[in-house]
Homo-oligomer: A and B are copies of this chain.
Amino acid sequence: MRTFNVGIVGVGIVGTGVVKILLEKHSPLLEKLDCVPVLKGIADRNLDVRNRIDLPSDILFTDDVDILINDPDIHVIIELIGGLHPAKEIITKALEKGKDIVTANKMLLALHGLELFRKARQCGKSISFEASVGGGIPVIAALRDGFIANRIESIFGIVNGTTNYILTKMTKEHVKYSDALAEAQKMGYAEKDPSMDVDGIDSSHKLAILARIGFGVDFDYKDIYCEGISTIDLSDIWYAHELGYTLKLLAVAKRIKSAIELRVHPTLLPHDHPLSSVNGVFNAICVNGSAVGETMLYGKGAGQMPTASAVVADLVDVGLGRAGITFHAMKTFSGNCEHISIADIMQIKTRYYLRFSVVDKPGVLAKISGILGNYEISIASVIQHKIKENGNVPLVMMTHLAEEGNLQKALTEIKRLDIIKDSTKFLRVEE
């Protein structure tokens, strides 16, 4: 039985899961492989962790990460502290010391991935990061290896469990946003400060990683359009439902002429779209490839053991030598891939859901649809119920394909009409 030695930096929830798998006596790894990872050392600034995880005495526990990095007996460093610093410095130093890296750090890879890949190439080492997107779902492997024969056309996904939990609760239990968020916090699905999740930032990190692997290009992360779910109104979920659509926070990557679309925003999907039935903390990513067509990968997008499952899969990939081969054969990881611009959100073309709050008198629909028409936006369907709020009625429309720039101009013009009360809501659609 061959072995290879592993050091873990940061033993929080996911790290504890990885330790569990590696120390399990009847480990599936032992059953399945003739080459298995051996946990050599753990570094964590919180020394109390040691007691919590009941570590055998032959495993080094330290609060000094350099001890692991400088240990020539350790072949792979698993970075699980998250955030930009000192994670970036630790990975860089570990690469320089000849260690392969396994990480779940989506923020770091989204913001500094290319620089780290270049460093790894220079050092003849690899960086593996299956756990950074979609928890235990092997989506990075699918984009990188399984769909290698494809030109990837688009990647759509629900890649944040917290927001999907909140939206599912709003949709199924008719609970308003603030209550659904409070419940998610109580269940431990949302942080005290939930902004990384609910503002779509976490999804945009994951989208950046998926798009780099899928399209094999680089771009400016800051140009990704990002809109969260905190302003979603229950009534929009209901009206959309009536029109045949389910609301999800989607991360969308599309290849268009000489640019790519990268955007995170609440999105309406037809009820029979496979992503519409992805509920609660589950994640799912749809990949459309030139040969394979439409695919979807579904599973738990976060949590201790699902994420640990992906970390250990990466670890085996490194230990067997496959990760190094992949990393050095793929142009994506060269640190020098083609730089492409992200299309401005004003240029995208989708269908739109619109909800106006209007006064209840004749001619309203004609005025609004007239202005939309002037901007080449035609209406596919309309809902107008007799529900009054402060004397106003909601007017809900679904448009045909339209350019967002035109829509925004039309909405600005419509806003000035005296028949319009309150702000107008709009939601993008994917079919």
A residues in contact (CB < 8 Å) with B = 17, 21, 28-29, 31-35, 130, 135-138, 141-142, 145-151, 216, 272, 274, 277-278, 289-300, 303, 305-306, 308-310, 312-313, 316-317, 320-322, 325-326, 329-332
Contact = CB atoms under 8 A, between A and B. Distances in A.
Contacts of A148: 28-29, 32-33, 312-313, 316
Contacts of A313: 145-149
Contact of A309 (B149, B216, B331): B149
A32 B317 contact: no
Contact of A325 (B31, B296, B308, B322): B322
Most buried by B among A272, A291, A330: A291
Contact of A291 (B293, B296, B309, B326): B309
A31 B312 CA distance: 29
Given A141-B146, A142-B142, 17 more contacts: A33-B331, A34-B331, A136-B146, A136-B289, A136-B291, A137-B292, A138-B138, A138-B146, A141-B145, A148-B312, A149-B308, A149-B313, A149-B316, A291-B308, A291-B312, A295-B297, A295-B298
14 contacts: A34-B330, A141-B146, A145-B316, A147-B313, A289-B309, A291-B305, A291-B306, A292-B309, A294-B299, A295-B299, A296-B296, A297-B298, A298-B298, A321-B325
Contacts of A150: 28, 309
A369 to B, nearest CB: 34
A15 B347 CA distance: 40
A326 B316 CA distance: 10
